[in-house]
């Protein structure tokens, strides 16, 4: 009969120690139920008072190694009419929660908007403008130059003009000679020709080195001087003069 009462009492007391209760809270509740102070509990269990205080306050760093702690908790459980493993489970729950810290916290809302500092906003705007500028100017920076050249094919004058238009930021040479390009991209160069075929290498160069080369040929056919026609009478007079001179 006595054994049944003790067992029932332990079951009731064990209900005061659940898996979600820390050892500090469980021990305080059990001690309050028996109206025990830390000193009285120490006297009943032979557990040093400093260890009882450390458990109640949660100062687990002040406790000895785990085998000693488990032995102390068994003594305390017997004195408080609690199953031996109940306080040990509460202690393990308390120490694991304390050591895990923020790792046991629920993750924050991944979809919540985060506050962005003004400096980051300015940096993003500048980066976006640079990207847009690069996209717009990409072909003009790294592509081949565009150039339009106007030249005659056949001329009868010794001096002729090579003209056209291109990007004013590009560099232009004609047969190796640097040619001035106006702000609107137009250019014009007078060249001296020799009779026959004249070849011109026209090269436009981008700042990064890409080139567009155009070869043009201009044929120079000088005008022939007309032969002087001498009247027949003058020819006869000339012949008569020559004959008289011989006589």
* CB 196 within 8 Å of CB 218: no
* Distance of alpha carbon 185 from alpha carbon 168, whole angstroms: 4
What's the domain range around 188?
147-220
Structural domain includes residue 25: yes
What confidence tens digit (pLDDT) does each residue in 108-145 have?
555 555 677 888 889 889 998 888 877 766 666 667 89
Structural domain includes residue 162: yes
pTM more than 0.85:
no
* Distance of alpha carbon 38 from alpha carbon 51, whole angstroms: 9
| The total number of structural domains that make up the chain | 2
Structural domain includes residue 115: no
CATH number for position 212: 2.60.40.10
Mean pLDDT across 216-233: 79
State whether 7 and 97 are in the same domain.
yes
- Tally Cβ neighbours within 10 Å of residue 242: 9
Structural domain includes residue 83: yes
Structural domain includes residue 88: yes
* Distance of alpha carbon 138 from alpha carbon 208, whole angstroms: 11
Higher pLDDT, 12 or 225: 225
pLDDT at 98: 60
CATH number for position 57: 1.10.260.40
């Amino acid at each position: 009969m006595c054994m049944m009462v003790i067992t029932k009492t332990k079951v009731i007391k064990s209900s005061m120690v659940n898996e979600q209760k820390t050892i500090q809270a469980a021990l305080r509740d059990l001690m309050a139920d028996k109206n025990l102070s830390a000193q009285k509990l120490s006297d009943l269990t032979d557990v040093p008072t400093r260890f009882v205080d450390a458990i109640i306050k949660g100062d687990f760093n002040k406790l000895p190694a785990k085998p000693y702690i488990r032995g102390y908790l068994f003594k305390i459980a017997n004195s408080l009419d609690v199953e031996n493993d109940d306080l040990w489970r509460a202690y393990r729950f308390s120490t694991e929660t304390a050591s895990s810290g923020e790792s046991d916290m629920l993750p924050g809302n991944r979809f919540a908007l985060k506050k962005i500092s003004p400096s980051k906003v300015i940096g993003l705007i500048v980066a976006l403008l640079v990207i847009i500028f690069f996209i717009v100017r990409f072909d003009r920076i790294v592509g081949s130059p565009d150039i339009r050249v106007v030249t005659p094919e056949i001329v009868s004058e010794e001096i002729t003009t090579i003209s056209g238009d291109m990007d004013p930021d590009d560099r232009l040479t004609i047969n190796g000679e640097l040619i001035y390009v106006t702000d609107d991209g137009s250019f014009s160069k007078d060249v001296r020709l020799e009779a026959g075929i004249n070849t011109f290498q026209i090269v436009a160069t981008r700042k990064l080195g890409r080139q567009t080369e155009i070869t043009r040929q201009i044929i120079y056919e000088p005008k022939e001087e007309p032969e002087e026609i001498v009247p027949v009478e003058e020819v006869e007079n000339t012949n008569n003069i020559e004959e008289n001179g011989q006589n």
